[in-house]
Structure 1
Amino acid sequence: MRCLIEQQVLEPALSALARIAQTRAPAAVLQGVLIEAERGQVTLSAYDYDVALRMTVEASVVDPGGVVLPAKLFAELVRRLPKGTVDVATIAPHHLSASIDVGTTHAELHGFDPEEFPELPDMKGIAPVELSAKTLVEAVESVGYAAAKENAARPILEGVYVGYEGGKLIWMATDGLRLARVSQTVEREMSIRCTIPRRALTELTRLLDADHDAPLQVYQSASYVMFAWDNVQLFGRLYQGEYPDTSRVMPREFAAVCRVERRRLEEAIERVTILAENERHTVLLYVKDGVLELTSRSAERGHAREEVPLVEFKGEEVKISLNARYVLDTMSAAESSKTMQMQVARDRRSALFSDESDNVHLISAILTRD
């Protein structure tokens, strides 16, 4: 195999592929990127069984063929190469290593047999669902933060649920202590219902441009979902089983309902969190007529208090303690909203935040003596 690819084209593709290839993969070949050269283009693939990425780039193919090269090492080398045409060629007689040449720079990388690289999921025959890149990125950024970072007992909570329900596309994530739910109106019925690994969606948002409104094709099989656009295909292995019924944790009755300027609340939370005690970053929120009072304290460092004026208020005076980091994550996820509505559950066990698009973010209360 021998192919010629521009460094400016190869470098960003390898950077993305190297994030997929795992240094602790169960098989050494999965630490590599599969290079397949044929008919004027090169296809690059990385796969760890949970997430896969395939990208096709323009190239001048001198000799068709393939090889697997260590992804992170290859990406780092190409990143540091001077701009110009990168000449990648396998080395005879076994063709399991490759030479990398740009101008006077020469390097050789030991690789793997491409026959050892596993086949990526087959999506042939599956009718795709079409979404805009902007719609998808906005949804993922609004709910992805609430998915569990790690949950061995309930791994499905590490994913983001997406499903079509009554004219809307519902996106949802929860780690058991907080929940985010986004509803997007769609023009047509969609046959989609699955729970996607947060890691796959995080990589998807890194690859997509939030302002890019081009169509995105979404293919769902029994085990995988594939997002396809331009010359890129990103796969995520789906979590099996039913996503938890979150309707049971949504409060129905509220002691107080208020509205506050989102940015002002975010800045106030950031300040009082500096003195919040313990790893839960506990901040006491006191909702009363016209004002939301925030208080934090630490036996060793001191205490802080700040008042944020309310835009609207109804109900009774009520106090609730929340993890300040969770509140900040919620404010960040709703950064396009000027105001946020906060509803404190009647039983004081949770607070429900709603942005101007009626997306909801639920945070469980922290039990304190206040």
Structure 2
Amino acid sequence: MRCLIEQSVLEPTLSAMARVAPVRSSAAVLQGVLVEADRGQVTFSAYDYDVALRMTMEASVVDPGGVVLPAKLFAELVRRLPKGTVDIATIAPHHLSASIDVDATHAELHGFDPEEFPELPDMRGIAPVELSAKTLVAAVESVGYAAAKRDPTRPILEGVHVACDDGRLVWTATNALRLVQVKQAVDGELPIRFTVPRRGLSELLRLLEDEEETTVQVYQSASYVMFAWDHVQLYTRLYQGGYPDVTRVIPTEFIAECRVERDRLEQAVERTTILAENEHHSVTLELSNGALCMSSRARDRGQAREEVPILESSGEEVRVALNARFVLEMLRAMEGQVVRIRFAGRGRPVCFHDDDDHLHLISTVLTRD
């Protein structure tokens, strides 16, 4: 195999492959990127059974063929190469290593037999659903933060649930202490229902960063979902089993609510968090007499209190304690300028809504006072 590719085109592709390929694996070939050259195109593939990525680009193919090269090392080498045309060629007689040349720079990488690289999930015969990249990016940016970082007892909570319900695409993420639900209007009922790992969606977000006008085709099988557009195919394994019924934890009745500026609320949380207890890292929100006060205290350091200007309020007086980190991560994921806060009562979850009325719910922290 021999092909010629511009360094400026090759570098971002290999960076994406290196993010997918595992650093350690019982199968050493999975630490590599599969390079396949044929008929004026070169295809790169990385796969760790949870996430797979395939990207194809136009190139000058001198000799067709393939090889698997160590992904992290290959990406790092190409990143440091000078600008210009990269000449990639397998080395005879076994063609399991490759030379990498740009002008006076020469390197050789030992690789693996491409026959050892596993087949990517087969999506043939599956009819795709089309979604705009803008729709996908908006949803993932809003919900991704709320999924559990690690939950060995309920790994499905590490994922994001996606389903079409009554003409709306519903994205849900929760770690059992906080919850986000984003609803997007779509044309008709779409055959979509799956729970996808947060890691796969994070990679999707990176790849679609500059592709807002792109249409993405979504293929769903029993075990995988594939997002495909232009020259990219991103696969991610699906969680099996039913996602928890989150409707049971969403309050339906509220005793008070208020509206505040998002930036102003974020600033207040950041300041009061400085003196929040290390154990719970909690801040207290108190809605009283048409004012929203935020406070925190630490027995060994002191206390802080700040009044957040409100745009409007109604209902009873209420006081709750919330995990400050959860509040900050929520506010940073929100879009728009105004946040609507709805209180269901002491000890009940607090519901936050952004300009698009997406639901962000945070459970209260139990306190002695």
Q: Deviations over 1:54-89 (max 9, x none)?
A: 000111111111000000000000000000000011
Q: How much does 1:279 deviate?
A: 4.5
Q: In structure 2, what residue type is equivalent to 1:367?
A: L
2:141 partner SS: helix
Q: How much does 1:297 deviate?
A: 1.2
Report whether the alignment pairs 1:50 with 2:50.
Answer: yes
Alignment correspondent of 2:367: 368
1:74 partner SS: helix
User: Would the aligned equivalents of 1:68 and 1:114 in 2 still touch at CA under 8 Å?
Assistant: yes
Q: How much does 1:251 deviate?
A: 1.1
1:152 partner SS: coil
- Give the whole-Å Cα distance in 2 for the aligned partners of 1:258 and 1:289: 12
- Give the whole-Å Cα distance in 2 for the aligned partners of 1:25 and 1:138: 33
Runs of 4+ in 1 over 3 A off after TM superposition: none
Q: TM-score, normalised by structure 1?
A: 0.98
What is the correspondence of 1:74-113 to structure 2 with a 5 Å cutoff?
Answer: 74-113=74-113
User: Would the aligned equivalents of 2:297 and 2:303 in 1 still touch at CA under 8 Å?
Assistant: yes
Q: How much does 1:235 deviate?
A: 0.3
Alignment correspondent of 1:328: 328
- Give the whole-Å Cα distance in 2 for the aligned partners of 1:239 and 1:210: 28
Structure 1 residues 186 and 313 mapped into 2: Cα distance closer, same or farther (>3 Å)?
same
Q: Deviations over 1:310-345 (max 9, x none)?
A: 1111111111000111111111111x2211111112
Alignment correspondent of 1:277: 277
Q: In structure 2, what residue type is equivalent to 1:148?
A: A
Q: Deviations over 1:291-324 (max 9, x none)?
A: 1111111122221111001111111111100011
User: Would the aligned equivalents of 1:137 and 1:210 in 2 still touch at CA under 8 Å?
Assistant: no
Q: How much does 1:280 deviate?
A: 3.2
Alignment correspondent of 2:139: 139
Alignment correspondent of 1:354: 353
Structure 2 residues not aligned, in runs of 5+: none
Q: How much does 1:210 deviate?
A: 6.0
- Give the whole-Å Cα distance in 2 for the aligned partners of 1:211 and 1:71: 25
2:307 partner SS: strand
Task: State the aligned residue count.
Answer: 369
1:79 partner SS: helix
Matched-pair identity in %: 69
Alignment correspondent of 2:319: 319
Structure 1 residues not aligned, in runs of 5+: none
Alignment correspondent of 1:339: 338
Q: How much does 1:287 deviate?
A: 1.0
User: Would the aligned equivalents of 1:253 and 1:346 in 2 still touch at CA under 8 Å?
Assistant: no
Q: Deviations over 1:91-121 (max 9, x none)?
A: 1111111110000000001111111100000
Alignment correspondent of 2:59: 59
- Give the whole-Å Cα distance in 2 for the aligned partners of 1:301 and 1:74: 51
Alignment correspondent of 1:296: 296
Q: Which moved more, 1:249-258 or 1:224-233?
A: 249-258
Q: In structure 2, what residue type is equivalent to 1:364?
A: S
User: Would the aligned equivalents of 2:320 and 2:346 in 1 still touch at CA under 8 Å?
Assistant: no
Alignment correspondent of 1:305: 305
- Give the whole-Å Cα distance in 1 for the aligned partners of 2:94 and 2:298: 65
User: Would the aligned equivalents of 2:162 and 2:195 in 1 still touch at CA under 8 Å?
Assistant: yes
Q: Deviations over 1:187-244 (max 9, x none)?
A: 2321100001100000000110366122110000010000001100000000001110
Q: In structure 2, what residue type is equivalent to 1:219?
A: Y
- Give the whole-Å Cα distance in 2 for the aligned partners of 1:279 and 1:75: 42
Q: Deviations over 1:5-43 (max 9, x none)?
A: 100010000001100001122311111000000000100
User: Would the aligned equivalents of 1:133 and 1:210 in 2 still touch at CA under 8 Å?
Assistant: no
2:219 partner SS: strand
Cα RMSD, aligned residues only? 1.1
Q: In structure 1, what residue type is equivalent to 2:21?
A: A
1:283 partner SS: strand
- Give the whole-Å Cα distance in 2 for the aligned partners of 1:296 and 1:26: 48
Structure 1 residues 211 and 233 mapped into 2: Cα distance closer, same or farther (>3 Å)?
closer
- Give the whole-Å Cα distance in 2 for the aligned partners of 1:202 and 1:166: 27
Structure 1 residues 347 and 304 mapped into 2: Cα distance closer, same or farther (>3 Å)?
closer
- Give the whole-Å Cα distance in 2 for the aligned partners of 1:183 and 1:343: 18
Report whether the alignment pairs 1:22 with 2:59.
Answer: no
- Give the whole-Å Cα distance in 1 for the aligned partners of 2:197 and 2:310: 38
User: Would the aligned equivalents of 2:347 and 2:366 in 1 still touch at CA under 8 Å?
Assistant: no
Q: How much does 1:90 deviate?
A: 0.7
Q: Which moved more, 1:32-41 or 1:208-217?
A: 208-217
2:255 partner SS: strand
Report whether the alignment pairs 1:244 with 2:244.
Answer: yes
Report whether the alignment pairs 1:224 with 2:224.
Answer: yes
- Give the whole-Å Cα distance in 2 for the aligned partners of 1:251 and 1:25: 45
